[in-house]
Chain A
Amino acid sequence: MKISLSWLKEFVALKAKPQELKTALTGLGLGVEALVQAGDDFIFEIEVTTNRPDCLSHLGVARELATHYRLPLKQPKTIVKESSRPSARAVSITIADADLCARYCGRVVENVEVKPSPAWLARRLEAVGLRPINNIADVTNYVLMELGHPLHAFDLARLAGRKIIVRRARAGEHLRTLDGVDRTLTPENLAIADAERAVALAGVMGGEESEISSSTRTVLLESAWFDPVSIRRTAKAHGMHTEASHRFERGADIEMAPVALDRAAALIAEVAGGEVLRGRVDVYPAPRRPRAIPLRSSEILRLLGADVPAKDVGRILSALGFQVAETKSSKSKVESRRSKAAFDSRHSTFDSSWKVTPPSWRPDVSREVDFIEELARHIGYDRLPSRLRVASRRIEQNEAREKELEVSRRLTALGYYEIVTSSMADPEENARFTDRPPVALANPLSQEASVLRSSTLPGMLGALGWNLDRDRKDLRLYEAGKIYVAKPVGAEKLGELPEERRVLTLGLTGTWREKRLDEEEKNLHAGFSDLKGDIESLLEAFDSAGVRFDPESSSCYEPGFAGRLAAAGAPEPLAIFGRLRGARAREYKFPQEVWLAEIDYDQLLGLKLKARTFRPFSKFPAVERDFSLLVPAGIPYSRLAEALSRSRVEEVMDTRPVELLPEGKIEPGHYSLLLRVRFQSPSRTLTGEETATLGQRLVNSLALLGVRLRS
């Protein structure tokens, strides 16, 4: 809302400089988005929050500043010179639907001359961003900006029967509004009608037929109060937003209706000539009954952590237009000494209470806490005390968070960078990676972001692609994010949320480390064992005994270069990983192999972190032995590792594969593996003979899998 400083000064004798006023307004909750000089005036662009319709006017903003600077607030001039003819004879006003219109005031001005406004009026409107139209319309806009109450002017001669009936529109009733649009109304819309038809969309916009024109001689001024919810619905249904609807839907001041009406009538007489007929027609079936609400000093202290002296409570609330009656009073010593320390007190020195009646222009105030907010605003948030306490309650460590941190520490150590990609996906792209149905958005920004993803792979591929396109060839990325799975059609229940699952996604491409001078780059290209190794390093943090590896066949991954890890008996795999299938890689125009892993993060975090216990190290030397094994094709190394660990040879410190010869190189149907084992005893130096015996026990434990020593 644009507010003119010179206009404000008609209500309050402000002395402060514009910059100081800007700070003061911000401190009151009237944020100033811009302050510009316009000739000898200054214009504040104020962001008025939705709860403060009273500040959508110069009077309202002036009231705030008058309270702040402890200055008197002048009321607008509303003395109307009336002719002897009563307006009640010139027009009849009926409210048929009083639930949507609580008050309707009208005045009639005869013999007006419709013409351009005088310069002072036009300038005022232009200063606050309105375009002058003619003197009658301009006066209604002037009063709107000044007092915040929307008015409408009809050409009375064009109202059939010289009648106003406020009623719900009939289904299918037509109205051409001032913006030139033909509208079809519904009974949801409140209409202003004459004896025959709708002539205005109440509280939103007038109709073209009864519009003020150069031939208008008699003006009917409308100043009413319409139900906020009804106005909001009507404006929304017709895709309209006007200065009037903006105020009515936030809550106009019902007691301002006659004041604004008189103000406008007096101004019209001044700028358009004419005679104002005697009296207002004021249809107000159930006048508002103000309600007094209790306010306690103990509650002020309890919420603000500060005592507010009774005289400040009275001064602030009264200046804002509240009626304040003290019902209990105990003057404090602090107050009588006028100590500034009053606001710092933690211990109440008061025990007062009041009955406070909010003014008609404050629809936002209906409880004790609303008064306390008013006090806090006008004392100034920055002047209220501040307290930092030591947390005294027990703080529980979030175990899941500990695990997440461990995962991200490990991935970071492995050279991965964390990324966040959009949860909103293209349904077609999403469907290429999963059968899980994604969740459709009700109101998407674009087709490319019209569902909540049910696969994280497109996001990861997008991230890899973004960097490959920028010549970054060596990438290790991870994302910990959610997928959203829609309930199958027919199975969804009202209000039931779609399933959310957490997925840890890895993306790997290029070399796994920078090559040294004497190396060839192609030997460093990340491959299946690098990705699998990274996942295993992650799993090492957890108690993951019983997790088994198997080859994976899924349409996203290249056959023979994909695997899965699954816990025994688990319905879903813990991880699926491998090389992006060639056809897919070509779709994304990737110039190199891309490796991906999807880890069920909920399942991973469901595992216990591995308990660490210190194992004393042996004083005796360790011995390494290599075993050259022939392994039947189809037996993965993980099965060997399981068998070795089940053999429970205490002296085995470590086993690891060091060389692999593919199937058929040595013997058909077998691949060859060089296994390196480190033996060490805690109590003595192992002899060659002892080591050989231990080695034989290991080989025996593998015999069940059909593994034998290469002779």
Chain B
Amino acid sequence: MQIRALRKHGAPLHILAPGKAYRRDNPDATHSPMFHQVEGLAVDTDITFADLKGTLDFFCRKFFGEKVRTSFHPTYFPFTEPSGEVSISCFVCEGRGSDNSGQICRTCKGSGWMEVMGCGMVHPEVLRAGGVDPERYSGWAFGLGIERFAMVKYDIHDIQLFFQSDMRFLEQFG
């Protein structure tokens, strides 16, 4: 997505690209061979890792609630570097991992945090392949699963519900 968009539009560029995605997974409560993703990309002459953090932190608070805190930790993706995973503090137990009676929080499974999306600074070779000079431009990108976001936000525990078209599900969000 990144290279194609850069080739088509050049830099600077800020885009969001939602769409269907497929993966060869057997369907179960947390896997679906078809799901939806949003990818985002920002490329400009003055984009830094700080913009990645600030923007995604703002987005997570707007989406999950102002009390939510974000945490970033390193991971590996082939098209970004440095790459990161974003976790949000659990908004059910407010990051404590358990409720007032000491019961383990079901939403975050007791860790107080939930991984919600991947991100990173666009790899210089990706910029180059997109026809953009990596010495002049830099960029950040993210990818998130729409069903995953909805599951976290609405406490949904079965991804299959999104594709069954069950009125008892649809009516709750219609």
Contact = CB atoms under 8 A, between A and B. Distances in A.
A466 to B, nearest CB: 6
Contacts of B100: none
A386 B50 contact: yes
A387 B50 contact: yes
Interface string B32-67: 011010000000000011110111011000000000
A393 interface: yes
Interface string B74-89: 1110000111110000
A611 B59 CA distance: 34
Interface in B121-174: 121, 123-124, 138, 162-168, 170-171, 174
A445 B14 contact: no
Contacts of B76: 29, 49-52
Nearest to A373: B82
Given A26-B73, A421-B165, A467-B166, A387 B14 contact: no
A143 interface: no
A382 B88 CA distance: 12
Interface in A5-38: 26-29, 31
A28 B51 CA distance: 21
A29 B74 contact: yes
Contacts of A421: 163, 165
Question: Which of B22, B50, B81, B163 lies at the interface centre, i.e. has the most chain A CB atoms within 10 A of its CB?
Answer: B50
Nearest to B171: A417
Contacts of B48: 301-306, 387
Question: Which of A52, A419, A421, A424 lies at the interface centre, i.e. has the most chain B CB atoms within 10 A of its CB?
Answer: A419
B8 interface: no
A671 to B, nearest CB: 38
Given A393-B14, A445-B33, A305 B174 contact: no
A181 B151 CA distance: 45
Contacts, number: 131
Contacts of B84: 381
A304 B49 contact: yes
Contact of A389 (B26, B54, B167): B54
B72 A381 contact: yes
Nearest to B85: A31
Interface string A434-466: 000000000101000100000000000011001
A119 interface: no
A303 B138 contact: yes
Contacts of B30: none
A26 B76 CA distance: 13
A27 B73 contact: yes
A417 B124 contact: no
A424 B166 contact: no
Contacts of B124: 367, 369
25 contacts: A26-B73, A31-B73, A50-B76, A52-B76, A306-B48, A306-B50, A369-B81, A370-B81, A372-B82, A382-B72, A386-B53, A389-B51, A393-B12, A417-B170, A420-B36, A421-B163, A422-B34, A423-B34, A445-B33, A462-B165, A466-B164, A466-B166, A467-B165, A467-B166, A467-B167
Interface of B: 12, 14, 20, 22, 24, 26, 33-34, 36, 48-51, 53-55, 57-58, 71-76, 81-85, 121, 123-124, 138, 162-168, 170-171, 174
Interface of A: 26-29, 31, 49-52, 301-306, 367, 369-370, 372-373, 376-377, 381-382, 384-389, 391, 393, 412, 417-424, 443, 445, 449, 462-463, 466-467, 470, 472, 475, 477, 482
Given A28-B74, A382-B72, 10 more contacts: A26-B73, A304-B49, A306-B48, A385-B50, A412-B174, A417-B170, A420-B165, A424-B22, A424-B33, A466-B165
